[in-house]
Structure 1
Amino acid sequence: MVAGRNVPVLIGAVPLFTVTSLSLNEGYQVVRIAGSRLAQLVAPTTRTISVDAVLVGSTRLVVKKGLESLAMTSRALAAATAPFVSLAGIPVVCGMTVSLDMQITSLKFTQSNQKRDAIDVVITLEQVPRSSVSAIVGEALDMALAAGMLAVPSLSGNIPIERQLGGTL
């Protein structure tokens, strides 16, 4: 939330306004140096993003279908979108990262008796770089986001833990 506004997490063109959790996992390839007990990190291997959100309001089913179409859950959707996916993956834009060339690997939708007018969704995306150019552009955008966040004042920088947890300590 920035300056009293709810800034969505964008997965492709699908905005998620009620994100409850977002995690970024980055893996690195480790190679042993021949004839030594030493190892060296040589290259990033995987980047995955997991998003937990709640789809609310009258647009919840439209957003669900938007996410399903990005994930190409049917043969018809896969055939229709395959030419575009070969050029570029799904961009993910949020307050933590800008990641290009992502692909949805898992979608889980849950509706419960307690929340009949809402759908919980868990989305897992994995980075599948299409070209070195898109990888470089993605990293440049991610660095620009990090640099831009230096100018935005943090709301929770000096708030004591008791206040953050609602005084339950």
Structure 2
Amino acid sequence: MPADVNVPVLIGAVPLLTVTSLTLNEGYQVARIAGSKLAQLVSPTARTISVEAVLVGRTRLIIKKGLEAMALTSRALAPATAPLMNLTGLPVVCGMTISLDMQITSLRFTQSNQKRDALDVSISLEQVPRSTLTAVLGEALDVALAAGIAAVPSVSGMVPARRQLGGLL
């Protein structure tokens, strides 16, 4: 893929074309084994995604309204607005992950004098699995994304590790 191609982040049906950062947090539950000093990871407990983006151009307010509608749908109106929302939450598709069953927990829009024709947006999402099937499907899609990304040549402006470590690798 050429370096100048901008791949959007999709939150439900809303494409974010100018994402400045995306953070994926995953938490895991640790359980102590009775009568022992040992512990083991029992299950993943939380997956959250934070997205920082800039909404630019004449469609910025339409995208803002789309995000607000996704947040409202994912929190309160799922059964009434879309029957499929009973089965799955909002999908988030980006270059790092494909996560199903996400819900928008926070939206923050900022407009400044420096960027009058743009809105900064901060979005927080949390995974709320609705069924085992969608959880397994989401993980399968995430693995497929990882395998696909590994197969595609990467064009990065970062210094190769070989040069960073002075040829030690």
Range of TM-score over shorter length: 0.7 to 0.9
Structure 1 unaligned regions, length at least 5: 162-169
What displacement does 1:36 show?
1.2
Q: 2:63 and 2:97 mapped to 1: Cα distance?
A: 22
Structure 1 residue runs of 4+, over 6 Å off? none
The corresponding residue for 1:18 is: 18
Structure-to-structure mapping, 1:109-124, within 5 angstroms:
109-124=109-124
Q: 1:20 and 1:61 mapped to 2: Cα distance?
A: 18
The corresponding residue for 2:71 is: 71
The corresponding residue for 1:135 is: 135
What displacement does 1:84 show?
3.9
Task: Quote the RMSD (CA, aligned, Å).
Answer: 2.1
The C-alpha deviation readout for 1:41-67, integer Å capped at 9, x for no partner, is: 110001000000000000000000000
What displacement does 1:150 show?
1.3
Indicate the percent of aligned positions where both proteins have the same amino acid.
75
* Matched positions, count: 159
Residues 9 and 93 in structure 1, CA contact (< 8 A), matched pair in contact too: yes
Secondary structure at the aligned position of 2:55 is classed as: strand
Q: 1:38 and 1:76 mapped to 2: Cα distance?
A: 42
Residues 31 and 39 in structure 1, CA contact (< 8 A), matched pair in contact too: yes
Structure-to-structure mapping, 1:139-158, within 5 angstroms:
139-156=139-156
Q: 2:104 and 2:137 mapped to 1: Cα distance?
A: 20
Structure 1 76/21 Cα, relative in aligned 2: closer, same or farther at 3 Å? closer
Q: 2:63 is aligned with what amino acid? A: V
Structure 2 unaligned regions, length at least 5: 162-169
Residues 99 and 142 in structure 1, CA contact (< 8 A), matched pair in contact too: yes
Q: Report whether the alignment pairs 1:56 with 2:60.
A: no
Secondary structure at the aligned position of 1:24 is classed as: strand
Q: 1:124 and 1:154 mapped to 2: Cα distance?
A: 28
Q: 1:54 and 1:158 mapped to 2: Cα distance?
A: 24
Q: 1:102 is aligned with what amino acid? A: M
The C-alpha deviation readout for 1:95-116, integer Å capped at 9, x for no partner, is: 0000001000000010111111
Structure 1 15/26 Cα, relative in aligned 2: closer, same or farther at 3 Å? same
TM-score, with structure 1 as normaliser = 0.87
